[in-house]
Amino acid sequence: MSGTDKTKTGHDLRGPVVILVEPQLGENIGMAARAMGNFALSRLRLVNPRDGWPNVAAQRAAAGADHILDGVELFVTVEQAVADLDLLYATTARAHDQAKPVVGPEAAAREIVTHVADGGGAGILFGRERAGLTNEEVALANRIVTFPVNPGFASLNLAQAVLLMGYEWFKFSTLGELPFAMPERSERASQHQVQAFFDNLVAELDKVEFLRPREKRDTMLVNLRNIFTRMEPTKQDMHTLHGVIMAIAEGRKGPAKGGVLDGEQATRLRALLAEQGHGGTSADASSTVRGLARLLRRNPTDAERILWQALTKDRRFAGLFKRQTPVGRHIPDFVSFIHRLAIELVNPDESATIAADRGRRREWLEERDYRVFNLRAADVERDLAAELERLQMVLDAHPQDGA
């Protein structure tokens, strides 16, 4: 597995000493050093390396673990290499018939972490590539470490053995913390968003008579809904899925033909509308306003779609409102001609141009006896029921025109 992130700072942990007894190949020393670097082990001791030291082959095989090779300590005997340690493990794949505890790498790593944290010195002996450790060398250790491997093919490469011990030690030292996790690119979709998407999906499936036979419809709907609830979709997932369904259903080609806008895209479209609104009431300006109104209707934001679903299905509001309909040269998000009420959705981080245009639109509408009710898009997505209650209070305070 490649791809070290050079921008990240490595761990600086006090761990056990790795002792390689009479290693034969420089490449194996280098690869063992690389394995040590993977798991923040830094202290390497060599006992009589066959090809001497320093070793060019070891440096080439270390693949960046030069700081470990630069700190290598050389010893003539194993006794000298372990003299300052008070907890020593000998790794071996063979039973040496010695009366001392035999543990796996996980148990050894757990004990090493505790021992080093208490101020002790720990070390791990690794034997020769061909013959491993002698009985006399194993006798110096407090514990034997052996790996749960295939008994018919038990011999590990030297670097592999170092890597396994390093992994277990590092796992306990860092409590198994992973270096990264899946990025959270979008907030989790609300129930309102999922329901709005699902309603749209079902409507399109009904058009092509997918949900049949009728007696199986309810079961099919439950199965379909479970597909989406299991995946725990994000807002972006809902945008994508909604766009997919609508593109298939209506054969749209490109975003200009329809889809779902996020708040930023809706804000930019509003800015264009605001600029066009300065053109007065000429025929060209009126044509532009109508064209933009159609574009806005085909490209609802999440908040717009959620609110529109509620306004059309909730008995309190059904039939009262139209969406993205020009009133003169202005286009409120929603308008009730019966109640002479315009609803404006305010997206996050709107520009001064859009805010000013909203102010001019409000002034123009109020001059013609319309009331303007602002809703924040974020509030609609977070707590639709509360916003609908607010809207109901506004309608109750001003009965429909002529009533």
Beta strands in 59-194 (DSSP E): 73-75, 87-91, 102-103, 122-126, 143-145
φ, ψ of residue 399 to 5 degrees: the values are: -55, 165
pLDDT of res. 257: 46
**188: which DSSP letter?**
B
Nearest alpha-carbon partner for 139 in 96, 86, 181, 80: 96
Q: Would you say residue 271 has pLDDT above 80?
A: no
**pLDDT of 37-55, one tens digit each?**
988 899 999 999 998 898 9
Burial of 191 (0-12, 13-18, 19+ CB in 10 A): exposed
pLDDT of res. 291: 62
The dihedral through the CA atoms of 108, 114, 117, 118 has a sign that is negative
Mean pLDDT of 20-25: 93
Task: For the chain, give the longest Cα–Cα distance.
Answer: 106
pLDDT of res. 247: 75
Q: Would you say residue 403 has pLDDT above 50?
A: no
Amino acid at site 149: V
**Cis status of the peptide bond prior to 213, with omega within 30 of 0:** yes
Distance of CA 58 to the CA centre of its chain: 39
pLDDT of res. 353: 77
Burial of 340 (0-12, 13-18, 19+ CB in 10 A): middle
Cα Rg of the chain (Å, integer): 36
pLDDT of res. 265: 61
Virtual CA dihedral for 171, 24, 125, 179, nearest 10 degrees?
-10
Give the sheet arrangement for strand 122-126, strand by strand: 73-75, 44-47, 17-21, 122-126, 87-91, 143-145, 102-103
pLDDT of res. 185: 63
Measured CA to CA in angstroms, residue 90 lies from 48, 109, 116, 153 at distances of 17, 13, 17, 19
Report the alpha-carbon angle 17-22-23, nearest 5.
Answer: 85
Domains of the chain: 17-173 (3.40.1280.10), 191-254 (1.10.8), 263-397 (3.40.960.10)
Q: Would you say residue 330 has pLDDT above 90?
A: no
Q: Tokens at residue 244, please?
A: 């997919």
Q: Rounded to two decimals, what is the model's pTM?
A: 0.50
Q: Tokens at residue 331, please?
A: 């286009």
**pLDDT of 366-393, one tens digit each?**
999 899 999 998 899 889 999 999 999 9
- Any idea which of 164-173, 226-235, 283-292 has the lowest mean pLDDT? 283-292
CA distance 68 to 367: 79
Helix (H, G, I), strand (E, B) or coil at 131: coil
pLDDT of res. 164: 93
